Chain A
């Protein structure tokens, strides 16, 4: 069987707006990836345990609620503890440009701001998953 890129798409925290996450999940499916979609109210713990069990190549988080500076450090710390440094962490949603450099420095591989075509996300994943 051929290898597939496996991506976890999740909505962390309390934000319930999942239009973007669902569109992305579908676009990734149409690009040939296996998408594990776990929906709303995911905690950093749930996200990282799922990512580990599913041995995903990518974790994609969608945050529109402004809680990104709390969520991402938690997720990154848990990923480190679980020895998941080979997993790509990407994000989308409403994340101010001014917050992006710090998040990237902390280990978020890329942040896809509003208006990004799904094709760019697919290309990024294909280019960066080892």
Chain B
């Protein structure tokens, strides 16, 4: 099967295989990305992040259904942590999106973090590109927002929704600072619980303090995803953000920045990988480290030496 051709024609099977190819870095993956790249840049990417148990998947499910009612096609990438011990993962976000599975206009894919922190954001971004090329109008990225890599993933999004729950016992301070800064919209889910007002005021105080030059002040929307409360309003806020991005040229600016950052990240990753490959394969790495331990050489000398040797 010609994956690229079939994918562009709308085959779900081809889309699924393409994602696998890039995740596993099959040989054909890179020429595949080459052919797909011109077809990317259309989809609007929405990031959904927040602490575990906040209800991101349930919210994504509800929002996706709203977009479907508008006739838009949807892709969802759900990222779950991989066990650092075994390398395996339980990817369970789909359980909250059962109905969407049978909707032919929706494609859901679960990804593990696979332990590679640097590469994860790149991989997720590639998966988003593949879904974009396949014609999805809206693509959700869902991650558990507790680490730096999750913050990086969110940079792939045009609109980032941070989902919080009241009374989790965590102060806002405890939540990764980066997530709070990149949040475009904040959803307080399970808003029927105690602590809603406190969380609401804490968030708004934070926005007051961090007011920067951009004219978008993140709105805070209360939701109860399980029964649909606040979903319409959240949709409106997302649409308002999309409108804002388009009208203010923010979208163009952000995407330019993102394209640049992704390119640099890929460049960095590939360079270090090439060099690492060379010295690991040849066994040089171990002797270099020993040499450092014994103070026979210093790290800078070694590194510049390697660059001279392998990057001519």
Report the separation of the CA atoms of residues A39 and B25 in the bound assembly, to the nearest whole angstrom.
30
Category for how many chain B residues contact A: 20 to 34
Residues of A within 8 A of B109 (CB): 53-54
Q: How far is the CB of A2 from chain B (nearest CB, A)?
A: 7
Does B234 touch A at the CB level, under 8 Å? no
CB-based contact A34/B112 at 8 Å? yes
Contacts A1-B23, A52-B12, A53-B108; is A34 near B91 (CB within 8 Å)? yes
CB-based contact A2/B87 at 8 Å? yes
CB-based contact B88/A83 at 8 Å? no
| Residue in A1, A31, A33, A55 whose beta carbon sits within 8 Å of that of B19 in the complex | A55
Please give me the residue from chain B that is nearest to A9 by CB atom: B90
Does A32 touch B at the CB level, under 8 Å? yes
Does B229 touch A at the CB level, under 8 Å? no
**Interface 9-mer from A42-50, A70-78, A93-101, A107-115:** A42-50
Q: How far is the CB of B60 from chain A (nearest CB, A)?
A: 15
**Interface 9-mer from B95-103, B153-161, B178-186:** B95-103
Does B242 touch A at the CB level, under 8 Å? no
Residues of B within 8 A of A53 (CB): 12, 15-16, 101, 107-109
CB-based contact B110/A36 at 8 Å? yes
Residues of B within 8 A of A130 (CB): none
| Residue in B12, B15, B86 whose beta carbon sits within 8 Å of that of A29 in the complex | B86
CB-based contact B90/A32 at 8 Å? no
Residues of B within 8 A of A52 (CB): 12-13, 16
Report the separation of the CA atoms of residues A4 and B91 in the bound assembly, to the nearest whole angstrom.
13
Q: How far is the CB of B25 from chain A (nearest CB, A)?
A: 6
Does B228 touch A at the CB level, under 8 Å? no
CB-based contact B16/A35 at 8 Å? no
Residues of A within 8 A of B87 (CB): 2, 4, 32
Q: How far is the CB of A4 from chain B (nearest CB, A)?
A: 7
Does B94 touch A at the CB level, under 8 Å? yes
| Residue in B16, B85, B89, B98 whose beta carbon sits within 8 Å of that of A54 in the complex | B16
Which residues of A come within 8 Å of B, CB atoms?
Answer: 1-4, 25-26, 28-39, 45-46, 49-50, 52-55, 82-83
Closest 4 CB pairs of A and B: A29-B88, A55-B16, A32-B87, A3-B24
A–B pairs, 13, beta carbons within 8 Å: A1-B25, A1-B123, A2-B87, A2-B114, A4-B87, A4-B88, A29-B83, A32-B88, A35-B90, A39-B92, A46-B101, A53-B101, A82-B13
- Known contacts A31-B88, A46-B101; 10 additional CB pairs below 8 A are A1-B24, A4-B24, A25-B90, A30-B85, A34-B91, A34-B112, A36-B94, A38-B98, A52-B16, A82-B13
